[in-house]
Structure formats: structure tokens, C-alpha cells
Amino acid sequence: MRPQTYKIITYGCQMNASDSELMAGILEARGLSPVRDEAEADVLLVNTCIVRDSAEQRAQGRIARLKGLKTGRPDRIIGVCGCMAQRDAEAIFDRFPHVDLVLGTRAIPSLSAMLDHVLNGESRVACVDGIPESVGRMDKSDGSDEPDGSDNLQAPTSSIRNPQSAIRNPQSSALSTQHSALSSQPSVLSPQSSVLSSQHSHVVPVRRSALRALVPIMMGCNNWCSYCIVPTVRGREESRRAGAILDEIQALVQCGCREVTLVGQNVNSYRDGETDFAGLLERVNAVDGLLRVRYITSHPRDANDRHLDAVAALPKVCDHFHLPAQSGSTPVLARMNRGYTREDYLGLVRRVRERLPEATITTDLIVGFPGETGADYEQTLGLVREVRFDSAFTFLYNVREGTRAAEWEDDVPLTVKKERLARLIEIQERISLEKNQALAGKTLEILVEGPARRAEQKGGRGQCVGRTTGDKCVVYDGLPSDTGRLVRTRIVEGAAHTLFGEKIPRDPPAQ
């Protein structure tokens, strides 16, 4: 039976969300329609994340539970995509025999061909070999920028299990073994393209919202933060051509899109040969009909004055800086290979606030990194109190096999990690609340996204929801017809994660 319906289950970051939109585009180009209920899907894809153990466990649990759906309908096609697929293709087939196909992070254009192979009766079809370039470049002998242990990285001062010199190349062994094992199987496909520009030029992604769209501007990451698995599974950084990005945004606007979020692991190192990130912001800002431009994620080290000046000068570019600090301790930052010190980070915050005093600043923080002492942790709390972030994503450090930090002893006990996380969250939540309460009485313009969910409403009030330029959610009494419009609201109350406002009527046109 030819498949007619599909469902994609997505875990993880905006990049995964964006990849799922591309896969949906490929499936719909084949005539498949989306369904909500996975039991009704002829093709079921799980787009996985392995950045932290919790996300990995959730994805594995979900894949395991799909077995029942396969038993009931053996012709149903089950696929695993994303970072877990890239890292563990063979192991996935062994552990989950009900999986038909495995699709790596750069192999999305091969999805249609892979479906054909499965429909032709082949089993265990895998396409993961999308980043051979990265595998080669990670061998330090060719001069790549994978850290070699001398660049600013120090081992934790205590509890080091392996000496610095023993840091292994995380991927060259694991992935190349995986590739060679797979390539001995008949059903391994070469990706049709590993180049982002061609990946996108042939596929029209299916967006979840008509109003707002994620637009990938780059793949991969060259940063090699010592705790992070992303460069291993997503390969080297590769920017998409600015012209292709602009064409896509113009087409989106013609279909009613009003806000784009430019996505990549390190967007402010974007460079297509002619255009840097600030130049790209300028060009996107100039697209007629577009109201707002967001981007995620930018790296503090790459937030140069051109970037900050562009945000300050360009009216459509939102006044929101998501700048993952990760830690407030300079020695921990050095071991994380972040490329900045606590003072550099505070200097960056100052430079943002000199230009845009009202801009929101949000961050990511990790507690319990190997060797993090009580004093290091206090430095992180101090940073949070000093910067007063609008909000923060906070994480317990997780060992990720294949990363440099996995060579070091995970020496902060889990109970201590949890205590540190709880205190950090408590402090940040209080700051978020205070900052939102301080907005009471202010007039903030929001882009209205549509009706508010019941959970967002307060006392039956607040039918509509929109976001400020600083990415704060405002619930207010509005009309569905406000959707897609910029509306001015007066904030009446601020809670930790939501603002409540009232609509300010537009001035009548002058007679």
C-alpha cells in the first residue's frame, strides 16, 4: 500500500523543529497528509535529540512504544531521524527492530529515496553519511579547528580522570566505524546532498504557523564546547547562501508570514562569502511585508559590534539577545572551551545595554560541570544577579560520550547538582518575576499570534496572545482579527512567565 498519511514526532531544539518542517515538505510533495494521531499515520518519523540524557531517554522511550503500532500494521513505516540517528544508526536497528529507516542530520533530502527503498521491500535502510567532510576535518593533523588540547582548555583542577593529553577525537573513531559498518550493508544510501543550500532549494518546508516561520541559515557548529555533542552529530558549520535565504523569506511573506526566526547553532558566525550576520540582518530587515526578525542562537564570543549595531539600527530586528553564558566562572568557561571570560561576558551585556537599554537578555546555564567548585557556582549565581536575565534555560551537566568533557570525571554528585540547579532556578525565577512586574504601566507593542490557550488566560480574561519585541508573552482581551497585526498594549500585571495587558485603541486617523 502506498503511504498516504504521516506524523513527525520532534524532540529538541529549533534546528530539529526546522528539520522536521523540511521532512514534512518532502512527505507532502509525495502526496502524504499530516495526521495528529500516530495510530493513523502510515509513515511515522521520530526526530531525536541527544544534547542531554533526558531528551535522549524520552526519544528512546517513544521509539520503543511505537513497536505496538508496527505489530498491528506491519506495512507502517517507522523512521528515526536527527542526532541519535546520526550517532547510533546500527544500534537503533538492533535495539528497535521495528524501525525501517534511519536518517542522519544532513541526509534529509534522501528521505523520499529512502521511503522508496522501504516500499520496495528493503529493510534497515540508513542514510547517515552526510558529514564526511566533518569526519575528515576533525583529524587534527589536517589543521582543523577542533581543539587540540592546548587552546585555552584546562582540565578541571581536581578529579581529573584522564590527562589533557589523552583527549580523544570524539567522532573520528565512533562515526567512521559506524559508517564502515553500515556501508557493508546493502541498504545504505548516500545522501543526495550534504550541502545546505541544495538541501533547501529542492524542498519547500511545511510550517506549523502561517504567521511565523523558522528559517535555517546554517548547519553544524565549529565551536567544540567541551560538553556538547552537537558538532559531532551535526558536522562542520556551513552557511546557506544569503540569496536563497532571502528568496525563501520573500516567498513566506507572500503567503502571509510576518515574523521569521533565523536559526542555526551559532547564527552570528554566519558568513556566505559575501554577507556576514549583520549584513544578513540588514537584507532580511529590508523585506517588504515582514514585520519582525528574530534569530537563535548567537554565541557571546561572536557578538561583535557590527552585530549589536545592526540590531540597534534595524527596526524589524527584535530587541532580544539570547546569549548563552553557560557559567559565570572564568576557569569553568575555559574548560568548557567557550572562548570568553566572565568579564568578557559582562562587557558584552554592557555593550548591549548601552545601545538598547530596554532589550531583553536571556541565557542558558549549566550547573555541575566537571570540576565546578562551590566558588565557581557562586560566580554563576553572581552573574545571574548582576546581569538580571529576563529568563534562563538551566541544565544539570550531563556526560555526553564522544565529547571532550566526557574524558573528565563527572565529579559533582547528582544531589549537589540538583541543589545547585534548584537554587539557581529560584533566583532566576524571582528576577524574571521582578522584571515582569516592573513592566506594569508600560506600553508594549506585540505581534498577535492568535487566541490564547486556556492555561494562559486569567480569570476568563485574555482571549488573545502575542509577543513583545523582547519575546515576552502578553495575554490581553483582543479579537481573533488582531492575529498577525502589531497591537499596542498597556501592561497591567506581570507574572514570572507571562504579562497581562490591555489593548490601546489606535488613534483615529486625522481629519
Residue 312, Cβ density class (10 Å: 0-12 exposed, 13-18 middle, ≥19 buried): middle
Pairing of strands 499-503, 473-476: parallel
Residue 231 binds which entry of ligand SAM, ligand SF4, none, with Cβ cut-offs from 5 to 8 Å by kind? ligand SF4
Q: Which one, 300 or 462, has the nearer CB to ligand SF4?
A: 300
Phi-psi region at 70: left, alpha or beta (left = phi > 0; alpha = psi -120 to 50)? alpha
Least distance between ligand SF4 and beta carbon 106 (Å): 15
Write down the least CB distance from residue 403 to ligand SF4, Å: 9
Q: How far does Cα 171 stand from its chain's mean position? A: 21
Length in residues, the chain: 511
Shortest approach of ligand SF4 to residue 220 CB, angstroms?
9
Q: Minimum distance from CB of 11 to ligand SAM (Å)?
A: 11
Which residues of the chain form contacts with ligand SAM (CB under 6 A)? Answer: 13, 51-52, 227-228, 230, 265-266, 297, 299, 324, 326, 364, 366, 395, 397-398, 400
Q: Where are the beta strands (DSSP E) in 183-249?
A: 212-216, 218-219, 238-239
Quick one: 51 or 118, whose CB is closer to ligand SAM? 51
400 interacts with, out of ligand SAM, ligand SF4, none, CB within 5 to 8 A per kind: ligand SAM
Distance CA 361, CA 381 (A): 16
From ligand SF4, ligand SAM, none, interface partner of 469 (C-beta below 5 to 8 A by class):
none
Q: How near is the Cβ of 326 to ligand SAM at its closest, in Å?
A: 6
What, of ligand SF4, ligand SAM, none, does residue 13 touch, CB below 5 to 8 Å by kind? Answer: ligand SAM
Binds 8: which of ligand SAM, ligand SF4, none (CB < 5-8 Å by kind): none
297: cis peptide before it, omega within 30°?
yes
- CA neighbours within 13 Å on the CB side: how many for 263? 17
* Eight-class DSSP state of 6: E
Residue 115 C-beta: closest distance to ligand SAM, Å: 28
Nearest residue (CB) to ligand SAM, 230 versus 310: 230
CB of 52 to ligand SAM, least distance (A): 5
Closer of 53 and 354 to ligand SAM (Cβ) = 53
SS3 content of the chain, % helix, strand, coil (to 5): 40, 20, 40
314 with 281: CB under 8 angstroms? yes
Between 231 and 501, whose beta carbon lies closer to ligand SF4? 231
Cβ proximity to ligand SAM: between 182 and 392 the closer is: 392
Quick one: what does residue 191 bind among ligand SAM, ligand SF4, none, with the CB cut-off 5 to 8 Å set by partner type? none
How many angstroms separate the CA atoms of 25 and 214, rounded? 14
Residue with smaller CB distance to ligand SAM, 230 or 359: 230
**Residue 439 interacting partner from ligand SF4, ligand SAM, none (CB closer than 5 to 8 Å by kind):** none
Output the smallest distance, CB 474 to ligand SAM, in A.
26
Between 228 and 291, whose beta carbon lies closer to ligand SF4? 228
Say which entry of ligand SAM, ligand SF4, none residue 6 contacts (CB below 5 to 8 A, set by partner kind). none
395 binds, among ligand SAM, ligand SF4, none (CB under 5 to 8 A by kind): ligand SAM
Q: Using an 8 Å Cβ cutoff, are 202 and 208 in contact?
A: no
Which residue in 75, 78, 82 sits closest to 101, CA to CA? 78
Residues that bind ligand SF4 (CB under 6 A): 221, 223-225, 228, 230-231, 265-266, 299
Distance between CA 410 and CA 225 in Å, rounded? 16
Q: Which three cell numbers stand for residue 505?
A: 485603541
The three state secondary structure string of 447-495 is EEEEECCHHHCECCECCEEEEECCCCEEEECCCHHHCCCEEEEEEEEEC
- Nearer to ligand SAM by C-beta: 199 or 363? 363
Look at the alpha carbons of 351, 355, 357, 358 in this order and tell me if their dihedral is positive or negative.
negative
Burial of 257 (0-12, 13-18, 19+ CB in 10 A): buried
397 touches which of ligand SF4, ligand SAM, none (CB within 5 to 8 A by kind)?
Answer: ligand SAM
Least separation, in Å, of the C-beta of 54 and ligand SF4? 16
In the complex with ligand SAM, which residue's Cβ is closer, 20 or 110?
A: 20
Chain-centroid distance of CA 29 in Å reads: 25
Which cell numbers in the block locate residue 432? 524574571
Q: How far apart are CA 401 and CA 333, in angstroms?
A: 20
